[in-house]
A and B are shown apart, each in its own frame.
Chain A
Amino acid sequence: MNLTDTGESRVNGYLFVLERSLKTFLPPDVVRDAVREIESHVRERIAAFEAGPNERAALEQILTELGPPLRVAQAYSAERTIDEAVATGRFVPTLRAIWQLASTTVAGFFTALALFTGYLASFALFAIAVLKVIFPANVGIQFRGGFPVGLGAHFPLGAGIDLRGGYGIIPFALFCGLGIFVATHRGARRFLAWWRRPRLS
């Protein structure tokens, strides 16, 4: 079956949406290969159809059986990004998978927000440990009216700021930072494993 211009537009539109979705989390060469393969599938299916008056219905059937472009992109995501993160547990693939979910789903966005807060808190504590070594006078526990109100670094150190705490802050910050990092990372992996489960084809 040879497609009319309208049919060609429909196929190109499908491939365009798929390509745009895949580009958000896959390298360009992988995207090109994936889109080429899906196009080959569609062209093969179209070629098998006998020319008839209802091209539109035939084309819709082909694309329905193939699945919506976002659904296909999600399958690539599950197989590649999320799979890699769940299987390896490595930090960068996990971040990439969370980012991908955050940019495509509402639930993913809010979960990613919580997870990024955890990661940020842990990195902030690691930074405090490092800064304490470099600027010992500017990093410590801030006291107000005799009560501790915060832990951090102050540049410059204001006149009214009461900073206390010696080098003991370093192991404390490292311990807390590591604890928060491990808990957040475990949470991220569990979330990705949970996310992956019900969306399998």
Chain B
Amino acid sequence: MSHETWLEQLRRGTLDLAILLAVSTGPRYGLAIIQHLEAFTDLVVTEGTIYPILGRLAREGLLASEWVEGEAPHPRKYYRLTKTGATRLVEMKTEWRAFSDKIGRLLEAAERPA
């Protein structure tokens, strides 16, 4: 596996969590989610590819979406976390922290002088 492929898979694996976290504090529309992710991470490589993921998360019932008109010169589609999404997010955060701790320990062990 090339480094790029590995990086893509890593990015892909964490994007769902990152998107759910971005809307966990309140509803956001697509571009606001992208800007939030860009402010904290480099997970968004191609902005347009975030929208299909938002669509999938909505189909899975983790997000609910709603078009809002009149707020800006153009309509905005807002996404908010559903009850199922909130439950899933709690699980994902727990799993992420446990996973991250384990990989961190593994890295420390590998870097420790023999």
* Residue positions of A touching B, CB distance < 8 A: 30, 33-34, 36-41, 43-45, 47, 65-67, 71-72, 75-76, 78-80, 83, 197-198, 200-201
Contact = CB atoms under 8 A, between A and B. Distances in A.
Given A71-B46, A200-B8, A201-B46, A80 B72 contact: no
Nearest to A47: B73
13 contacts: A40-B74, A41-B31, A41-B51, A44-B72, A44-B76, A71-B46, A71-B49, A75-B51, A79-B56, A197-B9, A201-B12, A201-B45, A201-B46
Nearest to B53: A79
Interface in B59-90: 67, 72-77
A37 B49 contact: no
Contact of A72 (B5, B51, B56, B77): B51
Contacts of A75: 46, 48-49, 51-53
A30 to B, nearest CB: 8
Contacts of B12: 200-201
Given A38-B48, A65-B47, A71-B48, A200 B77 contact: no
Contact of B75 (A36, A38, A45): A36
Nearest to A201: B49
| Closest CB pairs A-B (n = 10) | A72-B48, A201-B49, A67-B46, A79-B52, A75-B49, A67-B48, A43-B74, A200-B12, A76-B52, A66-B48
Interface string B26-43: 000111000000000000
Contacts, number: 87
Interface of B: 5, 8-9, 11-12, 15, 29-31, 45-53, 55-56, 67, 72-77
A80 B56 CA distance: 7
B73 A34 contact: no
| Most chain A CB within a 10 A radius of its CB, from B31, B49, B67 | B49
A41 B8 CA distance: 24
A200 B11 contact: yes
B80 to A, nearest CB: 15
Contacts of A40: 29-31, 74-77
B30 A76 contact: no
Given A67-B48, A79-B56, A200-B8, 17 more contacts: A36-B75, A37-B77, A38-B48, A38-B51, A40-B77, A41-B48, A44-B31, A67-B46, A67-B47, A67-B49, A72-B46, A75-B53, A76-B55, A78-B52, A198-B8, A201-B8, A201-B46
A34 B47 contact: no
A41 to B, nearest CB: 5
Nearest to B38: A65
Contacts of B67: 36
| Most chain A CB within a 10 A radius of its CB, from B11, B47, B50 | B47
A201 B51 CA distance: 11
A65 B55 CA distance: 20
| Most chain A CB within a 10 A radius of its CB, from B45, B53, B55, B72 | B55
